[in-house]
Amino acid sequence: MKKYILMTIFILSLILISCSDDNPGDTNDKCGDGVCDSKEINKGVCPKDCGSQEIYSAGDTFITYINSEDRDIAVQITLPYEPRYLDGAPVLVYTRVFFTPYHGFGGLNTITEQGFVHVTYLWPGETDRSSGVSSEGVYDYGDEASLRAFRDVIKFAMGELPNVDGYYINELSEVSILTKNVGLYAFSHPGIAATNVLAFYQDDLFEVDYFVGGENPTVDTLSSVEVGHWAGDGSPVYNPYYTYPDDYTSTKLLVDYSNVAYDFENNVAYFDINADGSADESDDFILGSRIPQMYDKRYYSMDLTQALYDNGALDESNWPSDLATPEEAAEMWPFRSTVDNYDLLKRSGLKVMLVFARDDHVQPSPDKPNIHMGFDGFYHTASLWVRLNPDTEYIKLLSDKVAELSSDNNANSEPSDWLDIRDWAYTNKFGSNNIVPLAAVMEMADRTYYNNWDDNLDSVLN
């Protein structure tokens, strides 16, 4: 009898254990192991194993989340109606703005019309205004946490990291996604984040195929628009204290800040050329309003900010509350520049295209120092394949007029005199700013697909 009772207790114990939600066999099972255990059922934490994940169709736009350092990062994916190639669609990752408090997914969305999968995202702590979707974390204006999240978004786009439900990007789509044909695109200052994420996390992102950069700044002097800007009437305004080639180097622009002053009435810095102590547009170089704004402050370059203090233009008693101090500028800018990081890309197989119009959207300087520094860094320092603007054969696919008025340049070449760089640019006419970036991405994806890295092309690759 005693033996019977003990056997009964043992059997009941086994039954209770097998029914428990706290069964170690359940809690230790991993999402994606093909087993829908009780924890996954009750908490809904793994649609991959339990069969509730929606698979998206051609033309769909959807949002998923990836985990980056215990933060859920929102990722938006748009699928093409028709993939670019017979065996699938290449992937373009769009690099987001970070110098401003603007929030939203953004993107080069029309690239899906060319058969691409378009991937964009929200930085940690950012909310998309139109959808209300957010990424977890604290918004840090492109600092280290943001760059690590961007790294993980790219890894997700490359099929190397699953979403929070355990699904890889190809498993979310009815369209075949070519995760071995992945590139980054960045227009303006986001190019800093794109360059640096590829440099800092080269081991993780070694298989990123290409980067297309559109008129990207490289150093704080350019990000803060201190060597020239466009006036309200569209005319160029040049800083006389920057001239090419005397003041150009591949890592720094040698601007003379010795007469920098501050106009309190208009809350702006200026170069007091006539030394009369007041800002006068006809005699002085007055900086524009288009400068980075981070943490509710305006940021001039480290050198200009320090000069405001050294010149006695500002001190602790009258420093504007909305202007970064020398200490704040010195803390923010080194991580948000690219010139010291190109060397980290030396052993990568990355291919680069730098895209720019005759009239840059921010920088009017005739030698285009932002493009020059980028070319020096990617080509001369990192020894990468670099082309200045896309082949006109690809521009023709979208606009004959734009192609006729644009330059066709060999890869791995540059002007003998960078004051002639406008001759290497594309026209600003006929909607070219919407056309040429598409042509650039199409060319780079096709070159990747067909493994053709000739300096120039006689026709579109197919």
Q: What is the pLDDT of residues 89-134, one digit of tens each?
A: 999 999 999 998 767 999 999 999 999 999 999 999 999 999 999 9
What's the pLDDT at 348? Answer: 87
The band of 49, judged by pLDDT with boundaries at 50, 70 and 90, is low
- Sort residue 430 into left (φ over 0), alpha (ψ -120 to 50) or beta: left
Nearest to 97 by CA among 188, 210, 217, 229: 188
Rounded-to-integer distance, Cα 350 and Cα 208, Å = 7
pLDDT at 38 exceeding the cut of 90: no
- Which ranges in the chain are annotated with CATH 3.40.50.1820? 61-220+338-450
Residue 323 makes CB contacts below 8 A (sequence gap 6+) with: 267, 297, 298, 300, 305, 314
Q: Which residue has the tokens 């070519």?
A: 178
Parallel, antiparallel, or unpaired: how do β-strands 285-286 and 268-271 relate?
Answer: antiparallel
pLDDT at 23 exceeding the cut of 90: no
CB count in 10 Å sphere of residue 273:
14
Q: Which residue has the tokens 């644009």?
A: 406
* Token pair of 192 as six digits: 């800093």
Rounded-to-integer distance, Cα 108 and Cα 202, Å = 24
What's the pLDDT at 371? Answer: 99
* Token pair of 53 as six digits: 């994940």
pLDDT at 43 exceeding the cut of 60: no
CATH number corresponding to 61-220+338-450:
3.40.50.1820
With pLDDT > 90 as the criterion, what percentage of the chain qualifies?
86
